[in-house]
């Protein structure tokens, strides 16, 4: 694609990056077939190619309107288009640049600003979110159905082993996951303990910054990124082998720290190192399959599950088939899931900001996941887990909980 960026952006770091991404797009339209919003709405401007045109026009100096913002807001940032694109267009990075510029140029309504401010103020703060969830649990019976369905039951954490092994890895606690499902990291810690690795948390680390970043408070998100780097750095220097992340959405963000801070003279090198050490939990387990061999109980007859691969896992981290192989090793039978490349509609705060589109995607996803009549659904990201559980009718758990539960 030929470009002629406007003077005000052309030579800035964002302009240079956007230009190189835009030039790779050859308008072929292959990406339209796998875009969930294009599938639902049938409007070219709600497709990757249409959004790329809108961002190109803006970067070339055309007026930016509420219409541009609307079509970018409707994008899930699922990155299915990146997986499909034969030219390697990094749509997600372009969308970050485009959204940031639209935010500067188009004033949102007061209600929209307030909703976004509320989300970025509550979700990344573990204590605040935990308190709100506890209140929601107390008053669930009197809450409207739409809200009550988002308040999950307590999931007991279980024991956490002492850090007794020479091999150590850091684990990201995150923001909402410790309140919604403390059982996930606890299961990971117990499983890792069985294969001779201690998982440790750095107390000062917190939210990975993804929620804030995707709500377009990009500078503020860098504050979370730097805080985590500062919290992890002494452990990295002390020999931590990896930074393990049990939510694939957070994993995508941490693997991007190096890119996000590449122009920061104080943090660029450290951020690059942190990104290099970041591992989705499935990547670590896949490397330790020998150590796990023979540690599982014999299969029983309630072992049929459907696996929902989050967009952040398959399109963001490009991890495909790894979790499924681990689940089979543990004795599970996987039921078929049609259209498994499509988003469930969770997408960070999308289910709150774009509830109608999100609901339609959720209905389709639940129908696909339950079509093989699984006893349970497994997934790899807390946002998808909580979202799918609102209407699945069968339990939804992180796959690491299921695998750890199979240890003899």
Binding site for ligand SF4 (CB under 6 A): 25-31, 35-37, 48-49, 51-52, 75-81, 84-85, 87, 89, 91
Question: Alpha carbon of 82 to those of 70, 107, 161: distances in Å?
Answer: 21, 29, 40
Residue closer to ligand SF4 by CB (options 81, 184) is: 81
Residue 115: C-alpha distances to residues 123, 136, 321 (Å): 12, 18, 37
User: Which residues, listed in sequence order, are joined to residue 378 by a DSSP beta bridge?
Assistant: 307, 397
Alpha-carbon gap, residue 343 to 366, rounded angstroms: 11
Q: How many CB atoms lie within 10 A of CB 175?
A: 28
Whether the Cβ atoms of residue 184 and residue 157 lie closer than 8 Å to each other: no
Q: Which is nearer to ligand SF4, 78 or 326 (CB)?
A: 78
Closer Cβ to ligand SF4, 77 or 346, answer by number: 77
Q: Which is nearer to ligand SF4, 78 or 253 (CB)?
A: 78
Nearer to ligand SF4, 79 or 150 (CB): 79
77 — alpha (psi -120 to 50), left (phi > 0) or beta? Answer: left
Instruction: Tell me how far, at minimum, the Cβ of 165 lies from ligand SF4, in Å.
Output: 40
Q: How far is the CB of 132 from ligand SF4 (least distance, A)?
A: 29
CB of 18 closer than 8 Å to CB of 268: no
Query: Which of 90, 230 has the CB closer to ligand SF4?
Result: 90
N-term to C-term CA, the chain: 57
- Residue 327 · residue 307 · CB < 8 Å: yes
Q: Which residues contact 356 (CB under 8 A, 6 or more apart)?
A: none
Round to whole Å and give the CA distance between 368 and 222.
37
Least separation in angstroms between CB 74 and ligand SF4: 8
Of 55 and 389, CB closest to ligand SF4: 55
| Nearest residue (CB) to ligand SF4, 287 versus 355 | 355
């Amino acid at each position: 694609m030929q470009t002629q960026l406007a003077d005000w952006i052309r030579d800035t770091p964002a302009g240079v990056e956007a230009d190189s991404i835009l030039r790779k797009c050859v308008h072929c339209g292959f990406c339209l077939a796998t875009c969930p919003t294009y599938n639902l709405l049938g409007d070219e401007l709600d497709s990757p190619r249409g959004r790329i045109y809108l961002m190109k026009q803006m970067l070339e100096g055309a007026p930016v309107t509420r219409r541009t913002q609307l079509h970018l807001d409707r994008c899930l940032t699922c990155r299915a288009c990146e997986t499909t694109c034969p030219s390697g267009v990094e749509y997600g990075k372009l969308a970050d640049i485009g959204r940031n510029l639209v935010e500067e140029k188009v004033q949102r309504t007061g209600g929209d600003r307030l909703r976004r401010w509320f989300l970025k103020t509550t979700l990344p703060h573990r204590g605040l979110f935990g308190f709100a969830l506890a209140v929601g649990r107390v008053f669930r019976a009197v809450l409207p159905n739409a809200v009550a369905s988002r308040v999950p039951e307590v999931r007991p954490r279980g024991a956490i082993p002492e850090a007794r092994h020479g091999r150590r890895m850091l684990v990201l606690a995150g923001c909402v996951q410790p309140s919604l499902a403390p059982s996930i990291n606890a299961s990971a810690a117990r499983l890792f303990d069985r294969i001779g690795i201690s998982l440790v948390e750095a107390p000062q680390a917190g939210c990975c910054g993804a929620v804030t970043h995707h709500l377009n408070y990009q500078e503020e998100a860098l504050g979370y990124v730097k805080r985590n780097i500062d919290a992890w750095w002494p452990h990295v220097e002390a020999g931590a082998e990896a930074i393990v992340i049990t939510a694939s959405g957070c994993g995508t963000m941490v693997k991007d720290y190096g890119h996000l801070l590449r122009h920061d003279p104080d943090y660029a090198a450290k951020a690059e190192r942190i990104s290099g050490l970041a591992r989705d939990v499935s990547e670590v387990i896949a490397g330790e399959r020998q150590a796990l061999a023979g540690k599982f109980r014999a299969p029983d007859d309630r072992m049929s599950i459907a696996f929902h691969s989050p967009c952040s896992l398959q399109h963001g981290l490009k991890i495909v088939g790894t979790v499924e192989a681990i689940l089979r090793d543990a004795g599970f039978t996987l039921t078929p899931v049609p259209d498994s490349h499509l988003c469930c509609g969770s997408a960070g705060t999308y289910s709150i900001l774009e509830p109608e589109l999100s609901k339609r995607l959720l209905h389709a996803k639940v129908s696909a996941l339950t079509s093989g009549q699984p006893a349970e659904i497994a997934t790899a990201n807390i946002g998808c887990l909580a979202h799918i559980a609102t209407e699945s009718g069968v339990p939804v758990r992180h796959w690491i909980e299921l695998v750890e539960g199979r240890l003899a």
